[in-house]
Each structure stands twice: as C-alpha cells, then as structure tokens.
Structure 1
C-alpha cells in the first residue's frame, strides 16, 4: 500500500534519541542562519563600496574620454569636434590639456597634475557636487580661477580668503643649448585660487583644474590638446556611443568609457568579493556537516524501524526522501532566517547608518551597503547545493539499510 509520508516521518523521528538529534538540527539551523546573514551583509558592503567609488569618480570623470593612441597630445582639428558633437546622445564636449606642473603658493611648492578644461566642463561636470569651499565656475567675469584638491590645499597652506597671493604655475620650456638665463627655461603664469574640491585621496592630493586657455598658454600648446572629455545625455547607451565614436575617430584615437579608466580597481573589488563569497560559503558548508552527522545518527538509530516502515508499505524512495526533506528543512529554515536577517540589517544600515566609519575625515559617515538580487539568488543556489551534498549520503545509506533489512 502507499504509506503516507507524514505518518512515516512522525514514526521515523520518534524514539529515545529524538531530543539529542533535534538539538543538533537546531544548532545546524543557527549556524547556517548566521553564515547566510554574514554572507548577505559582506556582499552588500562590497556592492556599496563599488557604488560609492563609481559615484565619487563619476563626479570627476566624464562619461567618455577620447585620447591619442600614441603620445600625450594631438593637433586639434575642428572636424574632430564636429564629428563628436554630431553623434546622438552626446550632450557636451570639453577640450582638455593635461600635464604635470610645479605650483607655488607663498613659500610652499609642489608638483601637481594640472587639467585644463573647456567651458562644457563647467556646465556638465559633477565636480560642483563635491566643492567644499569657494565657487565652482573656472571663469567668472572673464577672470580665470583654479579649482584645487583639498590635499593640495593642505600641502600649500592655501587660503581662499587671502586675496594678496596667487597660485604660481611653472612649466619647463623646450629650449635649445646655450640658454643661460634661468627665467627663459620655464613658463610662469599666475592664477587666482577659486575653490576647493574633495573627491578621493588620489585626486585631492594631485589635481588642479584650470581653464583650457590658461593651460594652453602655460604649456605653449598652441593648437594641441591632450584629450576630449565627453558628457552624455541621461539614459544614453554609453557602450553604443563609444563604438560610434571609435569608428568616426579612427585608429589614431582610443575611446574609453569613464569607468574603464578605473577598470583595475573595479576588477580588484570583484575579485575580493568573489573570495569573500567562496570563504563564507565554505563556512556554511562546514556548518552543514552537522546536518550530515545528525542524519547519519538518525539512520544508525532507526535501522530496525526502517524495516517496520517497509512492512507497513513504505518504499525505498520514501525512506530516502525522508532524509533529504529533513536536511532541506534544517538548511532552508536556517537559510531563510539568515536571508531575512541579512537583508533587514542591510536595509537598516542603508537607511539609518547604524555602523559608522569611525573617522571624521571619511567620505561617508557610515558603511555603504547595497543589496543586489543576484547575490541573494547565488546565496540560495549555494545553500541548495550544500544541502543536497550534506543530505544525499545519509539518504543513500538509509536506502541501503532498507535493502539489508529487506533481505533479512
């Protein structure tokens, strides 16, 4: 006859050792829950850090950059500019001249990365969102101003309130032999500090923004540029526009998405996230050994009872499924609780910032988190696989025990 599963399970779990086995099952649930919660939290933090970096770099980097394939500059041709602007989805194009220069403020000196940008930079760049003091436009009332990284400001002890001192910029000339006058060996221009920005340590410690006309005069670039910074319309397909631009500009230029400028950093984050996932899944796998032991103990204790179940109409498949379902109940209950706790804590951190950075100078007051459905899905898949691996051997052992007692 067809023996009902719930009757078989109730009978199967009765006995003197039931409480001990239940304790082991509860411990397994708790460990799986904690491991799952930690996995969701860790992956969410990595997602938050990646989102934070993209947000910070998005304030500095354009959507697309066009650079010469070889060398650090190229001869500007208005045809290039017209070709770029003719592409659908392009909102603005900024001419860029970039190089290392020596800056001096009062008696302090240091090398910086000067980036001369066009007027479209003022209109479309996100740098205005990270200004900490001063004003944003690089040109106001036909007067050129410099935007200075906070780290450069600290090194130079620069004050925006002091109107008596300007920022002096030096750049070596391409001179020939026989020049003995030191003043003829470099170009020197003065510019007024107009604002301080704070994005990320590397940019804050190295970059100074100036108008492209100022940079062209300082570097004697005449009709040369370093690159084009391109800003796209909201919702535009950046990858598709990149391909169109590359076909228009030819092999003399390389077209890169803004995020490709930091591809190595994003790759490192993804590798770290992968290793954290593997380590925490391994911990959950080790915790699932308790499921294996509890089910194995159940098989050993219930060998004779399996024969009784067979005599009452149970099949080999039913006996095997009892063990598989028991393992699934333990693991999935723990995983469900862990997922609920992990997602809940991540949402609380995301909205209320429960755990702070612990540093006053930090970019954010609390750790950034972001929940991705793919992470939740992969976590569930990993737990399903671990559960099957932990439960299948005791289930097979129960089937063999069933066959043995049948023969007897």
Structure 2
C-alpha cells in the first residue's frame, strides 16, 4: 500500500469547497490545463506549417538534386549521365540549367529565374498539372515554347494566345562591356509563351521554364549543367539512393533530398517552434507557482497531522513524498484536462478549419495543424519537471517540522 499517495489523494479530494487552499489549487490546475492546451495547439500549428511547406515544394522540387560542391555548374558527358541512370533506385534523371536572366515582353521587362529543363522534367513533378492556361509542352509543333509563372504573366501582361509577340530573353555574354554597343554585351534570344503555371507565389513571381537547348544556347553553357534532378523509384528509399550516389560521385558533388533543398526555411520553422515551446514552458512555470503557494499553505494547515504521522513512525522521506504527490496530483489532473482540450481543439481545426489564415494569397484557407505524439510527451515532461521544482521546497519544509512543537 502506497501510504503517501493515499494521504495525498485524501488531502486533494476531501477539501471543503470554500477552503482557500482548495481555491488556489483549483486555480493552479486550471492554469496548468490552459497552458498545456495552448502549448499543444501552437506546436501542432507549427507541425502543420512544416508539412504545408513540404507539400508546396514537393510539387516543384525533385526527390534528389545533384549540384556542384563548388561553383555554379559542372561538366557532364554521356558516360557520367549513364552512371547516374544505372544507379539502383533512380527512375528519372532530368538535366537543368538555371540562372537569372532579363525578360522583355512588348515594352515591359523584369528579372526572372530562367530554368532550362530536359524533355522528361515534367515526368517527375507536378508542375505540368499546375498549368492554368495554355500547355506545359515546351516543344510544341517542333518549336520552343516557354512556361511562365502567373506572377510573371501579371507583371509583363503576357498573353499566351498571342503567338505574334515573343518573349525576349537577355543574358550577359562573357565579353568586355562596350558602352558604345551595350546590346552587343548580351545574348538575345526570343521564344513564344506556351502556357501559364500557378504553384505558389514564390515560384509564380519568378520562374519561367524553357527547353534545355534554349537555355544552353542563351547562357553558352555547352555540356555544363547547374543541376541534375532525380526521381526515385517508389520501391526504394530516398536516403538509400542518396548514399549510393554520394559514393559514386564523391565529394565534388552535393546530393540534396527535398528537405535539404530548403534547409534554411525548415530550420527557421523548427527554431521558432523551439522558442515557442520554451516561452510556453515558462508560462506553465508561472502558472505552477500557484501549486507552490497551495502546498505551502497546506503544510501550515496540516502541521498537526504531520506531527502525528511523524510520532507514529513516518519518516521525513514519507512526509516529503506526501506533498510532492499532492503537487503532482494537481499538475497531472490539470495536464490531463489541458492535453485533452488541446487535442479536441486541434481535431476541430482539422475537421472544420475554424481559424482562417486571413490571407487571400494563401494556398490553404485555414491554419494547418498536425498533432505529434512527441509534443504530448515533451509537454508532459515539462509539466513533471516544473511541478517537481515548485513542490520541493514546501515538501522539505513539511519534512523538517518539529513533532514536539506541533502536537
């Protein structure tokens, strides 16, 4: 029989309704419940945002991306490409030339990200399915076409149906600038718009897809490529294929999975989540101070009971454990209510989308949430540690009471 727990439970459930100690304990329990519920909700929102970022970028980014460890581009040849294609797990290898270029249309111009891609590029992502006007075919009727982001279309007033006005790409040549003939310092090639895509504002406002040969000619790249984008077969793990490719290519190349292609953004979300956790844990600590006050008052109220227990043979450890368990009961019951409430609110948000993002440009209407078991575990551990810290002093004070002075 666990005597300290039985006595602590007796103290917790047998208080009079108007007892000030009971009121303070209830306030502490409510504070822990609200704090733990808020912590679960906020952490779940960060989880949802992290998944949303991955979902948005997954339609644009490859499973694996090969880039040069140093410099902007690297040389390729048939043997090099065949070695990559023969790697187990590699389903599609797309060649990419990507760089900034100046785009003109009629009397307007802007800087864009020009991405030259091989014909199999759209076989490994969902960019082709994001076309809202025209076609994603970059080789339509044996002629080059460009796939333009919707934001670029709005900026330049591009009309894909107008096949008489081409897009004009300009890129600096590797020659000395001649002020008497500035146009001669740029390569200048025209291409007709073939379609408009809409994925996410970051891409829509900057990217234009063109055929690989067009980009190769404009940038004078020859056999050099800025990256190779790979699709991994469903029966293989991405990390397994990544390790094999890294061993094959060596340290001269970087091989990035989908998360590593956006390391800074995902790291920023994780850092924000960590600071939010620390902030709310601090708030939980403040709410738990009520446990400290209620236990301190309970020790004063139960001095006679403590002296009687000590005279009956109860050790200092037993008396200390009674009040530690009393604080644990308050915190655990409050945490149980809070975690349940947080789970309930998160489920409501997932099902009904109660809280809107409030932005017309957002790709989702409501805040995304995703509950993870580790968040519940970490919140529980935080409450246990905080409760232990605020309960130690009143418990030690109870264990140190003099028997002769309080009977």
TM-score (norm 1): 0.91
Query: Residue 74 of structure 2 corresponds to which residue in structure 1?
Result: 74
- In structure 2, the CA distance between the partners of 1:395 and 1:252, relative to structure 1 (3 Å rule), is closer
- In structure 2, the CA distance between the partners of 1:12 and 1:124, relative to structure 1 (3 Å rule), is closer
Shift of 1:125: 1.5
In terms of mean alpha carbon deviation, does 153-162 or 348-357 score higher? Answer: 153-162
Shift of 1:298: 0.6
Determine the C-alpha separation between the residues in 1 that align with 2:45 and 2:353: 12
Q: Give a deviation string over 1:180-237, Cα, whole Å, max 9, x none.
A: 6666443332222222233333322221111112211222323322221111122532
- In structure 2, the CA distance between the partners of 1:59 and 1:253, relative to structure 1 (3 Å rule), is same
Q: How does 1:361-372 map to 2 (within 5 A)?
A: 361-372=361-372
- In structure 2, the CA distance between the partners of 1:76 and 1:58, relative to structure 1 (3 Å rule), is same
Contact 1:117–1:212 under 8 Å retained in 2: yes
Shift of 1:351: 2.5
**Does residue 1:51 correspond to 2:51, yes or no?**
yes
Q: How does 1:7-406 map to 2 (within 5 A)?
A: 10=10, 19-175=19-175, 184-234=184-234, 236-311=236-311, 314-401=314-401, 403-405=402-404
SS in 2 for 1:93: strand
Q: How many residues align?
A: 407
Determine the C-alpha separation between the residues in 2 that align with 1:371 and 1:306: 44
Contact 1:3–1:313 under 8 Å retained in 2: no
Determine the C-alpha separation between the residues in 2 that align with 1:133 and 1:327: 64
Determine the C-alpha separation between the residues in 1 that align with 2:70 and 2:278: 41
- In structure 2, the CA distance between the partners of 1:311 and 1:204, relative to structure 1 (3 Å rule), is same
Shift of 1:15: 7.7
- In structure 2, the CA distance between the partners of 1:300 and 1:364, relative to structure 1 (3 Å rule), is same
RMSD: 2.7
Gaps of 5+ in 1: none
- In structure 2, the CA distance between the partners of 1:319 and 1:195, relative to structure 1 (3 Å rule), is same
- In structure 2, the CA distance between the partners of 1:307 and 1:17, relative to structure 1 (3 Å rule), is farther
Determine the C-alpha separation between the residues in 1 that align with 2:309 and 2:172: 93
Contact 1:12–1:305 under 8 Å retained in 2: no
Shift of 1:62: 1.3
TM-score (norm 2): 0.91
- In structure 2, the CA distance between the partners of 1:265 and 1:13, relative to structure 1 (3 Å rule), is closer
SS in 2 for 1:60: coil
Determine the C-alpha separation between the residues in 2 that align with 1:309 and 1:194: 88
SS in 2 for 1:101: strand
Determine the C-alpha separation between the residues in 1 that align with 2:245 and 2:340: 46
